[in-house]
């Protein structure tokens, strides 16, 4: 179920950066990593993931979550876990009735993705995980896992929840029909959720991110396509990433005040980039400081730093996403506890607390409107009961 783009919620409260991102806690956690002897590369990756997930949720309003793996000799690895992830899928297979189990199908599908990425036969994969109808623990929604090969040994997994699934797998078939498939005959034999799980869609694309964007648009997830652009924008901005590098150094060295200042300018820079889309986000009389900022006079970079440091951001929620997201505050920790594997049941447990939208305020009179159930469009407020303000929320 989706809401129209003009449907907006207005949060009653605004918050400081520290309400959602505790720099001191990050310094403490990194200190523990240093004591364990973790290398800089691992610590750097950990902080990168935290920052990018934070910016994605609060600046880009990205309607999906992301997990990052590494591709090693024995397959996919998750930082902090010694054995390849495939082993955790293997261990989940029940001792009896294995061949017909959902866990065996998950193992088969994941193994197919891993094998294709290891052999460089694929750099993009789509893996559908529908619910098991009539079985406790499964709802009326499914998950789409997208595996995307990045630079070096990095593999990004994007997690999208899709709603309104039924026992005929109508939504899963709709998504599958929107994927570019040269020979559809092999998929005509799909009978149940386990068949979907056994057959991920694998692609070796010259421009995998562009293909991913087109697929998201084709299957009706336009917000997802825009989110890919958001990450490309912030990842490609050398000014933001220069400050991120300095932030990481401050965190590693336990410099709390300095880290908080860099964290603030990173957030404000990302906000500015988002507002200005692909144009140079910070323009002064002497010229732009944009994606190639390292080639500009250092004085300009200092001016940009001072500009962003003066801004005190106030964070609100307030989006009405047209794709319901698997957006979990403790996703990374949960996946670590699952030995790196992504499964329907793991994600469903995390999503139980996010079935409703947050309460919000009417922009007309300020009255508090209770958050509606995400999966029930009939409950979505169309007009403020106090002043009649029209929100414009409606089913597509």
DSSP 26-52: HHHHHHHHHHHT--HHHHHHHHHHHHH
DSSP E strand boundaries for 176-259: 201-203
Q: Is the CB of residue 92 less than 8 Å from the CB of residue 78?
A: no
pTM value is 0.64
Q: Is the CB of residue 17 less than 8 Å from the CB of residue 319?
A: no
Q: Is the CB of residue 100 less than 8 Å from the CB of residue 108?
A: no
Chain centroid, CA 378 distance in Å: 28
Q: Encode the chain (396 residues) as per-residue pLDDT tens digits.
A: 333 333 444 444 556 777 778 888 888 888 888 888 888 877 887 788 788 878 887 787 776 677 888 899 899 988 767 789 999 999 989 988 778 899 999 999 999 999 999 999 999 999 999 999 888 888 888 889 999 999 889 899 888 888 888 999 999 999 998 888 877 777 778 899 999 999 999 999 999 988 998 888 888 877 676 777 788 888 878 788 889 999 999 999 999 999 999 999 999 888 888 876 545 555 443 444 444 444 456 777 787 888 888 887 766 543 332 223 333 335 655 666 677 788 887 777 655 545 566 666 776 777 777 777 655 556 777 788 888 877 655 443
């Amino acid at each position: 179920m989706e809401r129209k783009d003009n449907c907006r919620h207005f949060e009653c409260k605004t918050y400081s950066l520290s309400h959602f991102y505790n720099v001191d806690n990050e310094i403490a956690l990194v200190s523990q990593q240093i004591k364990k002897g973790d290398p800089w590369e691992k610590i750097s990756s950990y902080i990168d993931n935290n920052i990018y997930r934070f910016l994605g949720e609060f600046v880009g309003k990205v309607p999906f979550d992301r997990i990052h793996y590494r591709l090693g000799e024995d397959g996919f690895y998750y930082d902090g876990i010694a054995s390849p992830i495939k082993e955790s899928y293997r261990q989940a297979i029940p001792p009896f009735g294995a061949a017909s189990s959902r866990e065996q199908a998950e193992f088969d599908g994941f193994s197919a993705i891993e094998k294709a990425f290891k052999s460089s036969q694929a750099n993009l994969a789509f893996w559908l995980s529908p619910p098991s109808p009539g079985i406790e623990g499964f709802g009326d929604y499914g998950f789409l896992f997208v595996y995307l090969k990045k630079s070096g040994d990095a593999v990004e997994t994007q997690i999208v929840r899709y709603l309104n699934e039924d026992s005929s797998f109508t939504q899963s078939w709709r998504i599958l029909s929107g994927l570019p498939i040269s020979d559809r005959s092999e998929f005509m034999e799909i009978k149940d959720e386990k068949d979907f799980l056994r057959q991920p869609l694998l692609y070796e694309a010259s421009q995998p991110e562009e293909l991913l964007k087109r697929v998201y648009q084709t299957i009706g997830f336009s917000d997802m396509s825009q989110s890919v652009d958001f990450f490309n924008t912030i990842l490609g901005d050398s000014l933001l990433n220069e400050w991120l590098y300095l932030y990481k150094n401050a965190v590693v060295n336990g410099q709390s005040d300095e880290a908080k200042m860099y964290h603030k300018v990173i957030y404000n820079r990302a906000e500015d980039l988002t507002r200005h889309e692909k144009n140079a986000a910070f323009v002064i009389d002497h010229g732009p400081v944009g994606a190639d900022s390292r080639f500009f006079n250092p004085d300009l970079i200092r001016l940009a730093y001072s500009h962003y440091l003066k801004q005190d951001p106030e964070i609100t929620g307030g989006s009405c996403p047209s794709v319901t997201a698997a957006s979990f505050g403790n996703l990374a920790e949960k996946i670590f506890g699952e030995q790196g594997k992504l499964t329907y049941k793991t994600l469903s447990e995390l999503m139980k607390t996010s079935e409703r939208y947050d309460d919000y305020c009417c922009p007309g009179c300020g009255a508090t409107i209770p958050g509606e159930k995400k999966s029930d469009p009939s409950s979505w407020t169309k007009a403020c009961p106090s002043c009649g303000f029209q929100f414009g929320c409606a089913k597509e």
